[in-house]
Structure 1
Amino acid sequence: MSRFDYIYMLKQVEEKGRELYRGDFAIDDIDRPIVMKLIAYFLRDGEVAAKEKLDLHKGLLLTGPIGCGKTSIMRILSNFSLPDHRPFLKSSQEISLEFADLGSDLILKYSRRAFNPYKRMPYVHCFDDLGFEPLVNYWGNKINLMAEILFTRYNLMHSHGMITHAITRLNAAQLGAIYGDHLRSRMREMFNLIAFQPDSRDKRK
């Protein structure tokens, strides 16, 4: 038995969705098992997480069809997270645009410098639309910026417990084609894979 009331928490998620998005926000039946898993993760409910085969030392790779509500659900649930585990959401495309201003320091911003200066705890980052960012120019060479950030955060996961989340509509094979098998194997270590059903309703309509 969990110490949390998941029916109550689901209602709280819907209420927060109505506050942040629209008045008729509701969790569809088809999405409910996914949202329940995410609630367990963000509440750090070890007993339910273990039952759902979620590793609380890993981040989340949230996948699903376009418009199914991946980003909105992640934003809503971050409000129920403990402060030290609350993710900072940013799209991969925005990060690539930042590179024009910061250059290679941008990789450090999201990796070796991504620590709370007072607690020395690593910040949790969530990268949205992973796999759709453009390559960036670095000294005349095209580099995959997100691959560099993910590699560095992977190392920091092992050395400092750094947690990374990502949201994408790509599957594992498609991510492997973009980032290579070397990073794909590390992503298995970094993430709990949570996938919305392919026929999950497009919430934008």
Structure 2
Amino acid sequence: MGNPSKITEGGMVYSLGEFDGKQVEYDFSKVLTYMEAKGKLLFGRNFRLYHEDHKVLLKLCNYMVRDRTSCLEQGIDPDKGILLSGPVGCGKTTLMKLIRHITPHYKPYKVIPARNIVFGFNHVGHRIIEDYGNGQYFCFDDIGVEQMGRHFGKDCNVIGEILLSRHELFLESGLRTHATTNLNAEELEERYGKRVRSRMRELFNLVAFDQNAQDKRGTKNTDKK
């Protein structure tokens, strides 16, 4: 496995903590330094992390590195997925794309916009639901504001159906699913119904930005949802 506490980016080696040969003792300040550097490579030189978001970042970091003790102290079940919520522009999509890079020794998830999945359903039908209800790792981005799917004249709540399938996978094999949303719990229930909302509680840990979190898109950081 090598040393998972060290990551090389752009010819520089970043240390995320201390590795004793069995596990890494992560240093949050070092992880943030690496994330700043990786963020600039991914999203452009204007990217930066915000001090106001450190509470959310700490939860996400502890979750990604599987620090079970810290997760439980913060009310996070490390065996569930993450539902990252917050207002438009606060940085949800960017963080979910970025945070997976601090643990390159784990299998990464793919970040897929919910609207793209619905577009796919409109073209090919229920095969799309099967494609995303499988054993791969996904983060469904911006759920709850996508259009209703429609194929051959029949409407389908595509993301709702996929979440039901992912819940079954979670119960069968522990496969985790992640998502981002601008909506609150009541809005999600209105969009997907009580049954799906109930499954979402079992499927996800809710990690939320403050509702007054600033819109960071004006800073020219790429893809700040």
> Normalization by structure 2: what TM-score?
0.82
What letter is aligned with 2:182? R
> Paired residue for 1:168, among 169, 181, 191?
181
Q: Which has the higher mean CA deviation after the structures are superposed, 177-186 or 25-34?
A: 25-34
Give the counterpart letter for 2:136 in structure 1. Answer: Y
Deviation at 1:184, TM superposition (A): 0.6
1:92 Cα deviation from its structure 2 partner: 0.5
1:117 aligns to what? none
Partner of 1:69: 91
Of the candidates 5, 8, 15, which is equivalent to residue 37 of structure 2?
15
Q: For each residue in 1:103-130, what CA deviation from the matched residue of structure 2 results, as whole angstroms up to 9, or x when unmatched?
A: 111111111xx3xxxxxxx321100110
Per the alignment, in what secondary structure is the counterpart of residue 47 of structure 1? Answer: helix
**Residue 201, structure 1, aligned to residue 223, structure 2:** no
Partner of 1:119: none
Distance 2:166 2:104 in 1: 21
Secondary structure of 2:55 counterpart: helix
Q: Is the 8 A contact 2:122 2:151 kept in 1?
A: no
Cα offset for 1:85?
A: 4.0
Distance of 2:45 and 2:93 partners within structure 1: 18
2-structure distance, mates of 1:30, 1:176: 29
CA distance in 2, matches of 1:138, 1:148: 14
Q: CA shift at 1:141, angstroms?
A: 2.2
Within 5 Å, which residues of 2 pair with 1:98-109? 98-109=120-131
| 1:92 aligned partner | 114
Maintained 8 Å contact 2:144/2:191? yes
Give the paired residue count. Answer: 195
- Does structure 1 residue 149 correspond to structure 2 residue 182? no
Helix, strand or coil at the partner of 2:217 = coil
Native 8 Å contact 2:121 2:151 kept in 1:
no
Alpha-carbon distance change, 107 to 101 in structure 1, aligned in 2, over 3 angstroms: same
Identity of counterpart residues, as a percentage?
35
Given that 1:30 and 1:197 are in contact with CA atoms closer than 8 Å, whether structure 2 keeps it comes out as no
CA displacement 1:69-96 (0-9 Å, x = unmatched): 1000111111123554411101010001
1:53 aligns with 2:75: yes
Deviation at 1:169, TM superposition (A): 0.6
- Equivalent in the alignment of 2:192: 179
What's the offset of the Cα at 1:29? Answer: 1.7
Please give the alpha-carbon distance, in whole angstroms, between the structure 2 residues aligned to 1:84 and 1:15.
Answer: 20
Go from structure 1 to structure 2 and tell me whether the alpha carbon gap of 1:62 and 1:48 turns closer, same or farther (over 3 Å shift): same
Please point out which of 55, 60, 64 is paired with 1:33.
55
Equivalent-residue separation in structure 2 for 1:84 and 1:124 (angstroms): 11
Distance 2:85 2:107 in 1: 20
2:66 match: secondary structure: coil
RMSD: 1.5
So what's the TM-score if we normalise by structure 1? 0.90
- In structure 2, what is the equivalent of residue 159 of structure 1? 172
Structure of higher RCO (CA pairs closer than 8 Å, 6+ residues apart): 1
Q: Deviations over 1:3-22 (max 9, x none)?
A: 11111001111111111113
* Contact 2:123/2:151, CA 8 A, preserved across alignment: no
